[in-house]
Each structure stands twice: as C-alpha cells, then as structure tokens.
Amino acid sequence: MLIPFFYMLREGGMKTSITELLTLLEAMKNGLAGQSVDDFYYLARASLVKNEAHLDRFDRIFGAYFKGVEDSLADLMQDIPDDWLRHQAELMLSEEERQQIEALGGFDELMKALQERLDEQDERHEGGNRWIGTAGTSPFGAYGYNPEGVRMGQQGSRNRSAVKVWDKRDYRNLDDSIELGTRNIKVALRRLRKFAREGAADQLDLDDTIDKTARNAGLLDIRMVPERHNAVKVLLCLDIGGSMDDHVRICEEMFSAARSEFKHLEYFYFHNFIYESLWKDNRRRHSEKTPTMDIAHKYGSDYKLIFVGDATMSPYEIVYAGGSVEHWNEEPGAVWIKRLLNTYPKAVWLNPEPKARWDYTPSTKLVREIMDDRMYPLTIAGLDDAIKALH
C-alpha cells in the first residue's frame, strides 16, 4: 500500500527513501493516522518530508494523488451542501456575471475549469502565494470569484475541510530547486582544509603528549606534529555587477560557504577585471579602494588566490591601457593580474558560466591563457578540480 504514492513522490523530485516509507507504514500500524485524512496527511508529511523547501511540492503531489480518494469519500458522505455552495457563490455574483457563467457551461463546469486553471497555473506561475493571480486575464479573477468564500461553505463537512489543509499550500514560497546547496560547496572546500598541517613532524604536540602519556598511565610518550600552518589562507576576488548579476545566487552561496569554512579568508571585489585597485565594500567602492599592490604586499604568498567571475567582457578591458569600462587605467588589466599571479603561485579562476560557453567569448579565452588554463566552472565538480589545482 502507498507504493504508487511513494513513486509519485519520487517522480515529483522528492528524495523520499524506503526507510521513510517504512517509518510511515509502521506509524500507521500503530494507529497514529486514526480515521481522519487530516491526521494521515500530517503523519505522512512528518515522516516523508525532511526539508521545508519541499513541503509545497509534497502538498501538490499529495493533493493530486489523493484527490480520487477524497472524491469517493465525498460520494459516500453525501452531506456536501452542493446546492448551498452554489447558492453561496451565486450570492456573490451579479446577474450579468451569472449569465457569463452559464455561457461557460454552468457552475459545475466553471468549478472544473477553475480547478484545471489552477493546476495549470501551479506549474508555470511561481511568484504569488494566492491561487488566482490579480493579473486580470483570468476569467475567475474578473468574476471576483473568491475561492475562500466558496470554501467557507465546506467547513461543515469534515472530509472536505481536509482537502483544504494541503490545498492551501502555505509553504509555496519556500520551494526552490537549487541543485547545489551550501553544504555541497562546504564539503568541497573542506578538501582545502585538511592540507593545513603538512610536512616533517618537528614540533612537540603538548596536548597529544599529555593525552598519550596519561593513557599510558604516566609513562612519558612524546608526540610530534608537523609545523602548524594555522589554516589555509584564501584570498577571494569576486567580480560584481554587470553580467555577474545572473550569477549572484551561486556566488553568494560560494561566498557564504567559504566564509564559514576558512578562518583566514580575505575577500575583495572587482568589476569585470583586475586593475590597480580593488574594494571591500560595494557601496563605497569609489571612496574606499585598496591598491592592488598593497594587497600583494600585505598578504603573503602562502595565500591561495581565487577569482570568481564570468570573464565576459570586451577583450580591450584586459589588454589595453584605458580599457576599463569604469575609469581610466594607466596599465592594462593583464599586467595587474600577472603581478598578482606572480605573488600568488597558487591561483584559480572560477567561472559561473557553463564550460560549454567559454569558447564563444574571446575574453574568456584570453583569461584562460593568462591563468595558464586554471579556469574551472563554478560547480561542485569544478570546485573539486580547482582545489586540486590549488595544492
């Protein structure tokens, strides 16, 4: 039982596992779901959904799958005050509108069409959290027909009111189908971390010595460790504005993951390409700039340099003096990036644009050449490769 539902959930893109299905069945065996559809819905939700972002999707699938069950229940109960509902709706409609409804095939047809429209709308329209938009193109909106108003009439019947619970879809604005969460990025970044302590064991590890000596019941056990490179040091340069606006989300994720992962993280912003100065605060980027040379002098060459940018610009911006779109640069950007690369031999460029598109942009090719081909797509796999290159 419930196996078709389970597969429907999986087809709907939910990562429901067998364990979770078994948990639900076990809970039902223990009589938790009781006799009511509401209870079953709550129970199924608590055991099958583990992320609030998926609640809306679950509600939709649940609604679609159990609609048949609901309808047959409704037939059995026979206490749905259909006439009353109709009455209620008619009360809200003017004479003219009622005629329009008749033209559409009567109230029942309207309801059916409405449901279809809603289903359709669910697929395409992601923005609002109301069933029917206010766009004015929908005939239902024009009627001033209010689903809330009709549903008020249904509260008298228990099994119908159950439909409400999942059809309300309170959670819709939480749904997002982003493929890479910060967790994945963090896990990828962790690879960089474990190389923080490497080399010959030439230092006394006091804590471990005490620990091992104590475990040895007092006999001294000296432990040595390699010199401690406190943690990996990362210098992150992020392209901001312009064509990067499309990639803000992934860059934010990357940035927040990096921020919580590295203790020694310094970050600077640039627009399109590196010139004589970078900045830390985008709101004050014209007043508070940091000269690029200062950065190269301040942060030692054990920092790993990561550029994040789409490298999409006019080639002039890279190779000519005065090529910058924002200001007059005395020296071309290529000179500045080479200075940075000389200071920081461990450097990569992460590009949020898909790799397949790189060859179509001359500037991307140019940047790749400057970076000695150390350009990687900003995906989990690309990040993995980039981190390998940083070692």
Partner 1 sequence: MADNRFTGTSSYIATDDLMMAVNAAVTLERPILVKGEPGTGKTQLAIEVARSLGRPLHEWHIKSTTKAQQGLYEYDAVARLRDSQLGDDRVHDIGNYIVRGKVWEAFESEQQPVLLIDEIDKADIEFPNDLLRELDRMEFYVYETKKLIKARHRPIIVITSNNEKELPDAFLRRCFFHYIKFPDKATMAEIVDVHYPDLKKDLLREALDAFYKVRDVRGLKKKPSTSELLDWIKLLLAEDIPPEVLRGGDSRKAIPPLYGALLKNEQDVHLFEQLVFLDRRTNPQ
Q: What is the DSSP string of 86-127?
A: HHHHHHHS-HHHHHHHHHHTHHHHHHHHHHHHHHHHHHH--S
Nearest in space to 263 (alpha carbons), one of 293, 228, 239: 228
d(CA 81, CA 101): 20
Cα distances (Å, whole numbers) of residue 341 to 94, 126, 303, 336: 74, 44, 11, 9
What SS3 state is found at 233? Answer: strand
Told to check if 284 binds partner 1 by CB under 8 A, we report no
Smaller CB separation from partner 1, 99 or 256? 256
- Considering the rule CB under 8 A, would residue 230 count as an interface residue with partner 1? no
Residues 6 or more apart whose CB falls under 8 angstroms from that of 204 comprise: 222, 223, 224
What six digits make up the tokens of 173?
């604005």
Residue type, 149: G
Q: Which stretch binds partner 1 (CB under 8 A): 5-13, 15-23, 76-84, 360-368?
A: 15-23
Distance in Å, CB of 16 to partner 1, minimum: 9
Residue 202's SS3 state is strand
- The answer to whether residue 181 forms part of the interface with partner 1 (CB under 8 A) is yes
* Burial of 354: CB neighbours in 10 Å, binned 0-12, 13-18, 19+: exposed
Residue 30 contacts partner 1 per CB under 8 A: yes
Rounded to 5, what percent of the chain is helix, strand, coil?
A: 55, 10, 35
| 183 counts as binding partner 1 under rule CB under 8 A | yes
4 touches partner 1 (CB under 8 A): no
Q: Which of 65, 107, 171, 316 binds partner 1 (CB under 8 A)?
A: 171
- Contact status: 276 vs partner 1 (CB under 8 A): no
Out of 213, 243, 290, 314, the only residue in the binding site for partner 1 (CB under 8 A) is: 213
Residue 252 lies near partner 1 (rule: CB under 8 A): no
Which listed residue (159, 182, 277, 364) binds partner 1 by CB under 8 A? Answer: 182
The site that binds partner 1 (CB under 8 A) totals a number of residues, namely 36
Nearer to partner 1, 223 or 355 (CB): 223
CA angle 345, 194, 297 (to 5 degrees): 30
Report the residue from 7, 26, 105, 338 that binds partner 1 according to the rule CB under 8 A. 26
Name the DSSP letter for residue 286: T
- Does 329 bind partner 1 (CB under 8 A)? Our answer is no
Specify the residue, 38 or 310, whose C-beta has the smaller distance to partner 1: 38
214 scored as a contact of partner 1 (CB under 8 A)? yes
Euclidean distance between CA atoms 308 and 251, whole angstroms? 8
Which of 102, 108, 170, 373 binds partner 1 (CB under 8 A)? It is: 170
First to last CA, the chain: 53
Q: Is 180 in the site for partner 1 (CB under 8 A)?
A: no
CA–CA distance, 371 with 349 (Å, rounded to integer)? 7
Q: Applying CB under 8 A, which part among 11-19, 195-203, 327-335, 339-347 lies near partner 1?
A: 11-19
Binding of partner 1 by 50 (CB under 8 A): yes
The answer to whether residues 236 and 255 touch, using CB atoms and an 8 Å cutoff, is: yes
Taking residues 185 to 204 in sequence order and writing x for each that binds partner 1 by CB under 8 A, - otherwise, the string is: -xx--x--------------
- Using the rule CB under 8 A, is 42 a contact of partner 1? yes
Which residue of 7, 10, 13, 15 would you call a contact of partner 1, by CB under 8 A?
Answer: 15
Determine which residue in the list 2, 8, 43, 74 makes contact with partner 1, applying CB under 8 A.
43
Considering beta carbons, is residue 54 or 233 the nearer one to partner 1?
A: 54
Distance CA 166, CA 172 (A): 11
Question: Does residue number 211 form part of the binding site for partner 1 (CB under 8 A)?
Answer: yes
Q: Diameter of the chain by CA atoms?
A: 98
Min CB(218)–partner 1 separation in Å: 4
Q: Nearer to partner 1 by C-beta: 214 or 325?
A: 214
Binding site for partner 1 (CB under 8 A): 15, 17, 19-20, 23, 26-27, 30, 32, 38-39, 42-43, 45-47, 49-52, 55, 170-171, 181-183, 186-187, 190, 210-211, 213-215, 217-218
